[in-house]
Amino acid sequence: MGIAISNHTIDKYLGFLTKLDIVSKKKLIVKLTESLEVKEDKEFDLNRLYGAWEDSRSSDDIIKDIKASRIEKPIKINF
């Protein structure tokens, strides 16, 4: 969903855009036209990720390593 702007705001933009050279205007038209095209949402299949993580350690070993790597930082509150 895009942002709706008033006709007054559009007129201000147009006043600025009329000062651009022809090549810049054409590039802008192409970009705006491309932005109007409806793009299909690609579905993401979580099943594709199954087995993507490769590790020789067991899940228990990985959990132990994660917990061991945690660092507790002292919280200093200055009043």
pLDDT digits (tens, 9 = 90+) for 43-56: 888 877 777 778 89
Domain that holds residue 16: 7-36
Give me the helices (H) in the chain, please: 7-17, 22-36, 59-68
Average pLDDT over residues 5-10: 90
Alpha-carbon distance of 28 to 20, in angstroms, equals 10
Average pLDDT rounded to a whole number, residues 38-45: 77
Tokens of 10: 């559009």
Torsion sign, CA atoms 26, 32, 34, 36:
negative
The pLDDT, as a whole number, for residue 46 is 80
Q: Give domain status of residue 25, yes or no.
A: yes
Structural domains in the chain (count): 1
Distance set, CA 40 to CA 4, 35, 37 (Å) = 22, 13, 10
| Domain presence at residue 21 | yes
The reported pTM is: 0.43
- The predicted structure's pLDDT at residue 1: 57
- The pair of structure tokens assigned to 51 is 């087995």
